[in-house]
Structure 1
Amino acid sequence: MEFVASESDVVGSTIKRLLDNQTIALRFKGMTGMFYRPNRFKLWMTSLLRFGLYLSVVIGIASTLGTSVARSQDNANDVVAVVNADPITRKTLTEETLRRYGTEVLENMVNRHLILQACQSQGIEVTATEVREEIARIASKFGLAMPAYLQLLQEERNIAPDQYSREIIWPMLALRRLVDDQVKVTQEEMDRAFIAQFGEAVKCRLIMVASRADADRLHQQATKNPSQFAQLAKQYSEDPASASVGGLIPPIRRYSGDSRLEEAAFALADDAVSPVMQLGDQWIILQAVRRIGETIPSPQALPAIREQISDRIRDQKMKGAATELFARLQADAQVKTILGDAEKMNQYPGVAAIVNGQEVTIASVGAECVKRHGEEVLDGEINRKLLTQALRKANKQVTDADLQAEIERAALSFGYIRKDHQPDVQAWMESITADGKTTTELYIRDAVWPSVAMKKLVEESVTLSEEDLQQGFESAYGPRVEILAIVLSDQRTAQKVWEMARDNPTDHFFGELAQQYSVEPVSSSNMGKVPPIRKHSGQPAIEREAFAMKPGDLSGIVVTGDKYIVMRCQGYTTPIVQKMEDVRAELVRDLTETKTNVAMNIKFEELQNSAEIDNFFVAAKEIPKMAKQSATTTH
């Protein structure tokens, strides 16, 4: 339980209003995706079997995923999904993934081409066996078998095994071979790294200030009375992380950082204070707390430790060597990028790039895009189909004027306003496209159009009553209850805390109880102080109890969800706005938008739940898993 604004707040902030729209809009961008549900997939599979299509999907779709680029071109009209009897073809999916990820994927492919060409010129070949062995070696470092490791990557990082092999492990092995002579690990480097990890260390306290004069003054006080070093650090040090714990910092080890710090720390006896030292634009003072002896690993663990240290050093050295190699390869290479340049695409039809005379085809880039991003982009296209069909059924259209109005609304919502109080659309669009990846076309297609479409579908159902306005006014401008709160996770503890708060009815004691017992971070870290409670915030049980109290009152135990809350009233805020008519226009605007957002979410869920969606692309991935599970169960 956290004391933050509820999702059902009747008056949201400007940013929240826009984000509510984008929650729906981004589903079309392939960023959050449609919402694939296993239970719906099983129902769909049952339907598929009933209509005798299961075999065709297994043979047709699964084989399509593994075919070559040439074959994928032949299958461009294959259906990857059907939405209420309206098909989405592989060609459409390829075009949409290229539109969103083509440039990024092409850059990755060009880099791999450069590495491959460099390997070929030096007679270097990285085999599939070497790739598998490297994956197994990495998995073993985490104590996992290779299948479990690959499954973890798929589930936690959304990296498919073939993508991991092709885009991460193969380039890494190839680069190692290409810069092998530059990444030799010497015995001296091994010894230093071993000492840095397992050698002697010094536990220290630190004072850091920006002024040399302050440093000298603090140094004089610290050397005169070393026992006060912790208090001086807490009071004066400008490094907040260490100041809060009396200047304590992680142990300093040899060969692990700045050599001056290491030399100063190891030169100190316990409780001794170092001279003032300059570190960047800061001045620091160290105090040695105690020495920490070296750690000697067991003989059984030593080989694995040395291998880990060697790998770490090699990886660190390889980063620099690989960066230099890439710079050389790119400087020496002749790369002509075609994709995205209309004139060049007419000149070189079907070509995405030319790398040292070798063509990278658009078909290969498209296949790579589909393989990597197809599922999420297809989710967006399915959702787009749902909206398009709903608009057609409602006899509604999204016009250019509608799109422009939505862009202007977004600009206003995010504070992009000209001196004449009109939306600064140009500045807003510049901020949208500043990342270099989002184009104006994509922004309109993936964020603006879906938002407008949903508003068109619900605009006639959104109405405001006087009761809505009154509740909105009370929530946004009415009095609020200032409280201290303690949030508990079980009733027994809540009862004990409530009794202690009743027996010692002071704000200070209540705050100490909150600090000790509250499981909610805001109240725990602020001596029970939480944001004031307002009416109609979506927490009716808390609101009723809070507004029934007078200053100094202790609430009963309020149960909400799986949490138990005890409150102490400190008073009420005084409203600044007294009359609703003074802010009626703003209330109407905000409440209309809030209710529209709620209606949009409800409508979108209705469209999804009532739709007949057959996602063959997902099925092709699920079928092998189901077959494997079936085989495992059988045996």
Structure 2
Amino acid sequence: MTGKDANRRLTLGKSWVLAATGFVVLIGGVVAWRQLSGGPQHAEAQAPVQQRAVQQRPAQRPAAAAPAAAPAEEVAPPATQKIQTVAVVNREPITRSALADEALRRHGKEVLESLLNRHLIAIACQQQGIQVTEGDIDAEIQNIAKKFGLSVDRWLGLLKEERNVSPGQYRREIIWPTLALRRLAAGELQVTAEEVQVAMEKNYGPKVKVRMLSVNDRGLAEELRAKAAANPDSFADLAKDYSQDINSAAARGLIPPIRKHIGNQEIEDTVFALQPGEISPVLFVASQYLVFKCEEQMPADYDRIPAGSLEGIRNQMADQVRESKMREAAATVYEKLQANAQIENVYNDATKASRMPGVAAVLNGQPVSLRELQEECINRHGIEVLDGEINRKILQQELTRRQLSVTEADLEAEIVRAADSLGFLTQEGKPDMEAWLKQVTEEQGVSVELYVRDAVWPTVALKKLVNNQVQVTEEDIQKGFVANYGERAQVLAIVLDSQRRAQEVWEMARRNPTEQFFGELARQYSIEPVSKNNDGQVPPIRRHGGQPTIEEEAFKLKPGQISGIIQAGNQSIILYSLGLTKPVINSIEDVRDELVKELHEKKLRLAMADEFERLRDDAQIDNFLANTTQAGKAYQAAVRQQLQQDRK
């Protein structure tokens, strides 16, 4: 049986290989792009607080130390000498076995695919006598870090910070497969003389110095092209005034010289055919209409290559070509390995799992153990999963201390509440729990079991811990009514990032206090996208919306009046009043029940977050996996009290 007819084969395709061998290209972007993206936020039943890493002093490990990283050439790390207690929370242990179960439950499917990928590659390397040593991996990491001008430590830290890839995971799942596939593919790579010549032309060949004009309207492009053709010397001014490419417009249309074989073939063919001073026809490229003016046809740089260095440079070009072809060649090699592989997925098939206990998959007749998959899940996701289990343990302990419990009925009631609050209703107008569960689990890519365990259970637990503390007062109701149904201030706004610029704009607005002129100022000077793109118009301002300074100023103004300069953090804001809206609902009694329900839920959420923060801060936590410890505020207070008593 081949891989093509194997039972329930995993998806182990070309995309994974490209992802592994091209990881440097992807992660290189973090040097310039520093952003962590959070997952979608939901109002439904969910974990009320984000998982939090404990960042105090290093923890003292149990006697069994964690093993060192496995040799790169090994398929999987050995299962011996693993710490069996991974954390202690308020003197209660969390075992490695429990963590393995939870990590497997959340990440088993994706990790099994990665694990089998490496198995396939490792088998091929063993068959061909190829080894990738720790030294090879170290050298590759050093080379990559050097490309970005970083030390190895800083590079590895950046990977962890920006992509949540640990050094061990990077070595094992990125660098090792990359090097192994390179060596497997090396025999299939052919670099021709023509390819080397193309690389030489890219780096040392002729180029064209040009100016560019870019707009998104063909009619305007043709009009500007005609003006430029009639007066080529005007091209720089036309680019400055009309080009929608900000960078080139600022340089009066000048862009870096265009070389051959670098970008769009149509652009290259067009500009290399132009004579100095000549204007190109309009080209449509990447949803933009482009016009070029040739400033100079620049000769090749071959004569600048030092004598005796040409052969060395050609060899460098051949290496560049070989490297650029490596990813595709590696993917081809992997496709061949996959085509000949026999892969049987046991983990995702309950019937097969019952027949083959302890087996995650069978690859070419050899079993891949469930224990190995569990350990791989811990290697990749153990710290984040353990942090969630620590949070759960803290909540369980507090429920037990207060003699409270979370029942199946409590969980179902919370799911029904979430469905109702988000409008998942049956035709009879009743909460549609099934429709909600289908929506939320598909959206978040989790099972119903995981959704209930990770989102619903913590929500219910915290509600039980704080529910009696939450009271909605008459003052809350009055403020809620004004905020939701009261009059609102309609204004135009200009947001600026400096006091000096704000003073200049305010003076201009005061000299011509009309709605139209204020809108023009907003379009020209505001740094906030909504007001800038809508001539100063912003959503109406309500009372008790969380911006008291802005609210007070907005509601003081009469129609046509301009505010003073309002400081909001590092920004300066100027408002132009358009008047107040009329309330749609005048009687608070018409919406009292709805307001009470909404306000209670909001105050409950805040109380839940505060309670969890308190419990977490008070807890004594030794996290042996992350090598951190936290004494807990309660323990620290007790120690201080004892010390004070001892001094007496």
Bin for the TM-score computed over the shorter chain: 0.7 to 0.9
CA 1:285 to 1:548, structure 2 compared with 1: closer, same or farther past 3 Å? Answer: closer
Of 533-542 and 427-436, the range deviating more from structure 2: 427-436
Q: Does 1:544 align with 2:557?
A: no
- Provide the C-alpha distance between the structure 1 equivalents of 2:531 and 2:224, rounded to a whole number of angstroms: 36
Aligned to 1:485: 493
Matched, 1:288 2:292: yes
1:535 Cα deviation (Å)?
0.3
Match of 2:171 in 1: 165
Aligned to 2:573: 565
Match of 1:602 in 2: 610
Aligned ranges 1:495-574 → 2 under 5 Å:
495-514=503-522, 518-574=526-582
The offset of 1:307, in angstroms, is: 8.8
Task: Quote the residue 2:473 is aligned against.
Answer: 465
Letter of the structure 2 residue corresponding to residue 159 of structure 1: V
Residue in structure 1 matching 2:336, options 319, 328, 345? 328
Residues 1:103 and 2:109 are matched in the alignment: yes
Aligned to 2:98: 92
SS in 1 for 2:591: helix
Deviation, 1:328, is 2.4
Contact 1:62 1:620 in 2 (8 A): no
* Residue number in structure 2 paired with 1:633: none
What TM-score results when the alignment is normalised by the length of structure 2?
A: 0.76
CA shift digits 1:250-297 (9 cap, x unpaired):
7765323453443244434556353788x89x8x86532334655969
Task: Give the one of 560, 575, 584 matched to 2:592.
Answer: 584
Quote the offset at 1:310 in angstroms.
5.9
Question: Residue 391 of structure 2 is aligned with which of 380, 383, 386?
Answer: 383
Deviation of 1:480 after TM superposition, in Å, equals 1.3
Q: CA 1:329 to 1:428, structure 2 compared with 1: closer, same or farther past 3 Å? A: farther
Identity level (%): 44
Structure 2 letter corresponding to 1:35: A
Q: Note the C-alpha offset of 1:600.
A: 1.2
Distance in 2 (alpha carbons) for counterparts of 1:520 and 1:206: 25
2:52 aligned with 1:34: yes
Structure 1 CA distance, aligned partners of 2:313 and 2:466? 62
Judging changes above 3 Å, is the alpha-carbon distance between structure 1 residues 299 and 510 closer, same or farther for their aligned structure 2 residues? Answer: farther
| Residues 188-587 of structure 1 mapped to structure 2, 5 A cutoff | 188-193=194-199, 195-196=201-202, 199-201=206-208, 202-205=210-213, 253-268=259-274, 270=277, 272-274=279-281, 286-291=290-295, 313-434=321-442, 437-489=445-497, 491=499, 494-514=502-522, 518-587=526-595
Cα distance, 1:385 vs structure 2: 0.8
1:397-427 CA distance string (max 9 Å, x none): 2222322233333334444444333344434
Q: Distance in 1 between matches of 2:514 and 2:385?
A: 58
2:80 alignment counterpart: 71
* Distance verdict in 2 for CA 1:257–1:487, change over 3 Å: closer
1:460-500: CA deviation from partner (whole Å, max 9, x where unpaired): 22222232222112111211112233444555554555444
The residue that corresponds to 1:132 in the other structure is 138
Q: Does 1:148 align with 2:154?
A: yes
| Partner deviation per Cα, 1:202-225 (whole Å, 9 max, x = no partner) | 54445677xxxxx7x889867765
How is 1:38-53 mapped onto 2 (pairs within 5 angstroms)? 38=55, 41-42=56-57
Specify the code of the residue in structure 2 equivalent to 1:106: L
Q: Give the C-alpha shift of residue 333 in structure 1.
A: 0.6
Cα offset, 1:344, TM superposition: 2.4
Number of equivalenced pairs: 572
Residue type of the partner of 2:428?
D
| Cα distance in 1 for residues equivalent to 2:460 and 2:312 | 59
2:99 aligned with 1:81? no
Partner Cα separation in structure 1 for residue 501 and residue 310 of structure 2: 48
> How far apart in 2 are the matches of 1:526 and 1:304?
58
C-alpha contact (below 8 Å) 1:84/1:611 kept by paired residues: yes
Q: Which residue of 2 aligns with 1:8?
A: none
Deviation of the 1:172 alpha carbon: 0.7
Name the CA shift for 1:69/1:159 in 2 (closer, same or farther; >3 Å): same
- In structure 1, stretches of 5+ residues that fail to align are 1-14, 28-32, 49-53, 210-214, 623-635
CA 191–291 in structure 1, closer or farther in 2 if over 3 Å, else same: farther
Q: Distance in 2 between matches of 1:194 and 1:480?
A: 66
Equivalent of 1:24, from 27, 44, 48? 48
Distance 1:587 1:17, change over 3 A: farther
Pair 1:388–1:525, CA change in 2 (3 A): same
> Residue 118 of structure 1: CA displacement?
1.2
1:81 alignment partner, SS class: strand
SS state of the match for residue 60, structure 1? coil
TM-score, scaled to structure 1: 0.77
| Shift in CA distance, 430/65, structure 1 to aligned 2, threshold 3 Å | same
- Pick closer, same or farther for the CA change 1:262–1:564 going to 2, 3 Å: closer
Q: Distance in 1 between matches of 2:588 and 2:458?
A: 34
2:215–2:221 CA contact under 8 A, matched in 1: no
Contact 2:44 2:418 in 1 (8 A): no
Secondary structure of the 1:360 match is: strand
Runs of 5+ unmatched residues, structure 2: 1-38, 71-75, 631-648
CA distance, structure 1, for counterparts of residue 91 and residue 474 of structure 2: 44
Distance change >3 Å, CA 573–CA 24, structure 1 → 2: same
Q: Which moved more, 1:446-455 or 1:498-507?
A: 498-507
Report the Cα distance in structure 1 between the residues aligned to 2:438 and 2:200, rounded to whole angstroms: 50
How far apart in 2 are the matches of 1:111 and 1:419? 48
One-letter amino acid matched to 2:459: S
Q: CA separation in 2, counterparts of 1:435 and 1:293? A: 55
Partner in structure 2 of residue 5 of structure 1? none
| Residues 1:536 and 1:208: Cα distance change in structure 2 (over 3 Å) | closer
Q: 2:187 aligns with which of 181, 184, 188?
A: 181
* Closer/same/farther in 2, CA of residues 65 and 333 from structure 1, 3 Å limit: closer
SS in 2 for 1:485: strand
Structure richer in helix, relative to its length: 1
- The 3 A distance-change label for structure 1 pair 249 and 310 is farther
Bigger mean CA offset, 491-500 vs 334-343? 491-500
Structure 1 SS opposite 2:442: coil
